[in-house]
């Protein structure tokens, strides 16, 4: 038996053992064209493809999520017959994690031996963040470097999968059948209504993205809106949009770190829509102190952020998960999530009164499904803009997020708070009144 035959024989045995535990409804195609089921009743319409023995060697020597991401980006592992999300929906992720953790290390060592001989091709470096920005807030921390890696990929790239208003956060679906555009408009209205916006109010949107909220609030609620971003290309897009829509007297957007806005209590409402994940756990106190200082005495604050689940042993909460390790290297450098209990506690510690906490987990799952489907449909255009490697990294990233929200590994909440006062609440008595239903 030559080396190639040994590798194929070992791979068949390995796949057979994994398939018995995994029970997935998809198949694996080897580099010689042979197709192996990954479950007892697996179909072969969607297949994971191993393009060479190198994929097996790297998975056996570095059996981790990072390796799978890199192999897919390099096209050493491929998916045929469907998108990464469609493939990911075909297996039980809890079983997959359990299979990886329980597989005997000595048995793995036996499988890897035939793959240690012979020359293997070396892949080109992937587009990763390799800056040395500290995670803790300090005067010298260059958040602009972190932000621009994620958001300055290109405006045209994001236009391939976002809604026409370019809203890059969880939408709110009136029904599962609603379009992404309708769901994002509904979300923007709900934010404005929860903030009780009215003509003449001054709204601040920190991390304003491509200007969806500031323009919507000025156009439909008569506010004067101020947005800040650290992404140069977002700023250019916002200013062109403001001019195009004739909102120059109502909306202003600047390239500015929100922490440098003068804390003079000038804003009637402050919105933070999913930029909080960029702040870093050790910087949360500084964030909430600054939010309170920016608001008028009767100001309102809306905080929308993705969160992890709290752990029974919270001493382990700060440890980097495999998922976050991948995200920080290739997609979202500096990203960290708290848990909803931490959010609520920090708001109260820093002088806020919480009025409402609304979970939006399945809304984000549906949002991400639209984003994945849109990017998959436009993958050829995306690769022409940013390259196949980055396109495939983003497809896998969005698909993994979509599955995580569906499974409940991650959640997202909208929290409404005001500065704590001694006396009656400044918000309406009934929640229905927030949404003009009464």
Give catalytic residues, as residue numbers: 401
CA distances from 253 to 17, 205, 268, 366, 405 (A): 57, 9, 17, 29, 31
Question: The sheet that has 47-50: what strands, in order across it?
Answer: 35-37, 27-29, 47-50, 77-80
Query: Please, where are the H alpha helices in 195-336?
Result: 212-221, 232-244, 284-294, 322-330
Exposed/middle/buried for 244, CB within 10 Å: 0-12, 13-18, 19+? exposed
Strands 410-419 and 267-273: unpaired
Taking Cα atoms as reference points, which of 172, 193, 173 lies closest to residue 433? Answer: 193
CA distances from 255 to 78, 223, 239, 242, 355 (A): 39, 21, 11, 15, 32
DSSP 279-293: T-GGGHHHHHHHHHH
Taking Cα atoms as reference points, which of 335, 283, 286, 345 lies closest to residue 310? Answer: 345
The residues near 237 (Cβ < 8 Å, ≥ 6 apart) are: 155, 166, 210, 211
The residues near 422 (Cβ < 8 Å, ≥ 6 apart) are: none
């Amino acid at each position: 038996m030559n080396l190639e035959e040994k590798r194929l024989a070992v791979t068949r045995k390995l796949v057979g053992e994994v398939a018995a535990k995994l029970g997935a409804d998809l198949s694996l195609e080897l580099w010689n064209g042979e197709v192996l089921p990954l479950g007892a009743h697996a179909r072969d319409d969607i297949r994971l493809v191993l393009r060479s023995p190198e994929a097996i060697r790297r998975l056996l020597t570095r059996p981790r999520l990072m390796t799978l991401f890199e192999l897919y980006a390099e096209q050493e592992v491929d998916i045929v017959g469907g998108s990464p999300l469609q493939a990911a929906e075909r297996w039980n992720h809890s079983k997959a994690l359990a299979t990886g953790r329980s597989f005997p290390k000595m048995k793995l060592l036996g499988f890897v031996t035939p793959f240690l001989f012979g020359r293997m091709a070396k892949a080109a470096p992937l587009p990763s963040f390799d800056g040395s920005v500290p995670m803790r807030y300090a005067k010298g921390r260059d958040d602009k470097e972190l932000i621009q890696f994620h958001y300055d990929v290109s405006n045209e790239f994001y236009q391939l999968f976002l809604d026409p208003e370019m809203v890059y956060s969880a939408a709110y679906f009136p029904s599962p059948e609603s379009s992404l555009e309708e769901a994002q408009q509904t979300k923007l209205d709900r934010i404005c209504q929860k903030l009780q916006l009215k003509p003449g109010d001054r709204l601040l949107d920190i991390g304003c993205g491509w200007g969806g909220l500031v323009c919507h609030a000025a156009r439909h609620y008569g506010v004067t809106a101020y947005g800040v971003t650290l992404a140069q290309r977002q700023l250019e897009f916002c200013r062109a949009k403001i001019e195009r829509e004739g909102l120059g007297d109502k909306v202003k957007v600047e390239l500015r770190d929100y922490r440098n806005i003068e804390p003079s209590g000038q804003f009637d409402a402050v919105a933070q829509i999913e930029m909080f994940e960029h702040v870093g756990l050790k910087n949360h106190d500084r964030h909430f102190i600054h939010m309170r200082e920016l608001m008028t005495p009767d100001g309102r604050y809306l905080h929308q952020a993705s969160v992890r689940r709290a752990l029974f042993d919270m001493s382990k909460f700060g440890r980097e998960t495999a998922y976050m390790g991948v995200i920080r290297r290739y997609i979202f450098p500096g990203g960290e999530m708290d848990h909803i209990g931490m959010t609520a506690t920090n708001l109260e510690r820093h002088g806020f009164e919480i009025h409402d906490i609304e979970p939006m987990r399945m809304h984000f799952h549906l949002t991400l499904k639209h984003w994945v489907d849109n990017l998959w449909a436009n993958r050829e255009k995306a690769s022409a803009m940013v390259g196949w490697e980055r396109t495939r990294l983003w497809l896998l990233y969005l698909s993994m997020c979509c599955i995580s929200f569906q499974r409940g590994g991650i959640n997202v909440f909208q929290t409404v708070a005001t500065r704590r006062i001694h006396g009656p609440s400044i918000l309406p008595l009934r929640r229905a009144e927030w949404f003009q239903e009464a």
